[in-house]
A and B are shown apart, each in its own frame.
Chain A
């Protein structure tokens, strides 16, 4: 079973629209970590956020916000007032440090295109 599901393969929005990227994860561990990474067209991978399973507080960083809900096993990412520079592939990832499995599993990514 897929441990990290990003159901939206591609999203296209017009500049200044808000957009939410979904991430649903699967784990039996009580201790785990969730991440979001951004891959702009230039190809590098950029860390955005890390959240541990004991901290359900939502986080806001400028136009970016993250909604972590353990009840629905989701860690969604919202960009407010999107800009062309937000165009990228966004990856959600899960780390289960005590499960004995590989430490980091990525979703397949969501390609976001912001049109001017």
Chain B
């Protein structure tokens, strides 16, 4: 079954404690991206990757890091989380940036 998986689905952490949200897809897609969803703001792109070792900033990259060492994986790293990063995060993949995106189930992060 074609899918995008994210882990963990829920995470409560404290300010400053480094965390990683994993994202994996099984569709051999070249394009992957991360979004955050906040009430009243819709989905905003954090980072995207056009292929292995190729990443670029989206609209709201501050405070986040990503890496794309393998085609299937695109982890999101918060080196020093802060309360304003409390949000619902979605990973997505597609065959290219202009094709439909397949979204993961979301990760709800709370930073206290």
Contact = CB atoms under 8 A, between A and B. Distances in A.
Q: Do A and B bind each other?
A: yes
Interface in B30-82: 31, 33, 35, 40-45, 48, 56-59
Contacts of B88: 43
A45 B90 contact: yes
Q: How large is the interface on B (under 10, 10 to 19, 20 to 34, 35 or more residues)?
A: 20 to 34
B99 interface: yes
Interface string B88-112: 1010100001111111011000000
A50 B103 contact: no
Contact of B40 (A43, A50, A108): A108
A107 B44 CA distance: 9
Given A43-B105, A44-B105, A45-B90, A105 B98 contact: no
Contacts of B58: 102
A104 B45 contact: yes
Contacts of B48: 102-104
Contact of A91 (B33, B43, B45): B43
B109 to A, nearest CB: 14
Contacts of A52: 98
A47 B15 CA distance: 35
A106 B42 contact: yes
Interface in A1-45: 6, 9, 33, 35, 43-45
Given A43-B88, A45-B43, A45-B101, 16 more contacts: A9-B40, A43-B105, A43-B106, A47-B100, A47-B102, A50-B99, A52-B98, A102-B45, A102-B56, A102-B59, A103-B97, A103-B98, A106-B42, A108-B41, A109-B42, A109-B43
CB-based closest 4 A-B pairs: A103-B97, A108-B42, A45-B103, A106-B43
6 contacts: A33-B98, A43-B106, A47-B102, A97-B98, A102-B59, A108-B41
